[in-house]
Amino acid sequence: MTHPNRFNSSQITKKRILFVTVGSTLFPALTNLILSSNILSFLSQSMTELVVQYGQGDPDCSNLTKVHQSLSVRSLDTEGQSERIMKTGLSKKSEGMEKVGKENGEEEYEYEGMRIKMFRYTNEFSEMIKESDYVVSHAGSGSILSVLRSRKPLLVIPNQTLMDDHQSELAYELSKHGYLLVTSVDNLLQGLERLLNLSPNTLEPFPEQDRTAFKNILDDTAGYT
């Protein structure tokens, strides 16, 4: 079966990057599934690069061919991702020194011609989003906002194992307004098909921050009216 997104040899030189992020959270259902041969085969038909931020997970890379491992320090993020600092600290303590390389470094693999970069944390979250063509994210509001503001096509996979699952509410509400796509872990493949086949301008552009609304609320409460 030929997929509509399959590239011919002249197009393959153009980079097409899919960024999959679970922020600083533990979401093995997504990080393991994305590295299953089923999903990878599908992605390698149309993507040249897959970037995975696996957060606190320890994904199984047995399907992949190792290319390179750099030890560049990419810990401590700046914006939008919850509880990063604390959890970096915790996991470093609990896992000991032998994991430090994997902790901060970026590993590179290959699968059927598609390059796969994997890392736990990044300082350059917004830059990574800007460089990518499509984003798959957990339902964290910080990650969702960053991606929508960068105007990248976004597929959100809520983590249904969370106790207080208000996060998926946000994702489903925003998808109702057409700003993003949302699906469950079980329907990841169909979700990816929808994401990669989106025609331009299908998703609503997310509005920029309203720079007067909060200012007015504060001025009003403080008595400047």
Partner 1 sequence: MWLSYLSLVSIVIPALFALRVYLLIRYRDQKPKRQAGETCSLGVFLGSGGHTAEMVALLSTIDLERYTPRVYVYCWGDEMSLRAISTIESSRYSTENSTQPSYSRIAFPRARKVGQSWFSTILTTIRTLFHVIWYTFLVPLTQPRKPWVDVLLVNGPGTCVVLVLVCWIRRILGLSYTRIIYVESFARVRSLSLSGKLLRPFVDTFVVQWPSAGGKGTTYKGWLV
Residues that bind partner 1 (CB under 8 A): 76-86, 89, 140-142, 145, 166-167, 169-170, 173, 207, 209-218, 220-224
Q: Whole-number minimum distance, CB 195 to partner 1, in Å? A: 22
* Residue given tokens 């991606």 in the structure block: 147
Cβ nearer to partner 1, comparing 41 with 216:
216
**Least gap, CB of 147 to partner 1 (angstroms):** 14
Residue 175 CB, nearest approach to partner 1 (Å) = 12
Residue 90 beta carbon to partner 1: minimum distance, rounded to whole angstroms: 10
Residue number with CB closer to partner 1 (61 or 170): 170
Residue of 44, 26, 25 lying closest to 35 (CA atoms): 44
Q: What is the CA radius of gyration of the chain?
A: 19
Q: Give the shortest CB-142-to-partner 1 separation in angstroms.
A: 5
- How far apart are the C-alpha atoms of 159 and 18, rounded to whole Å? 19
- State in angstroms the smallest separation of the CB of 72 from partner 1: 20
The tally of CA atoms less than 13 A away on the side-chain side of residue 13 is 2
Using the minimum distance from each CB to partner 1, give the nearer residue, 14 or 166: 166
Residue identified by tokens 């959270």 is: 25
Q: Which is nearer to partner 1, 67 or 76 (CB)?
A: 76
Q: Residue written as tokens 């997104």?
A: 5
The residue among 10 and 225 lying less far from partner 1, judged by its C-beta, is: 225
Judged by CB, which is closer to partner 1: 10, or 221?
A: 221
Q: How far is CA 178 from CA 140, 151, 197, in A?
A: 18, 13, 15
Q: What is the DSSP string of 41-106?
A: HHHHHH-SEEEEE-TT-----TTSEEEEEE--------SS-TTHHHHHHHHHHHH-GGGHHHHH-E
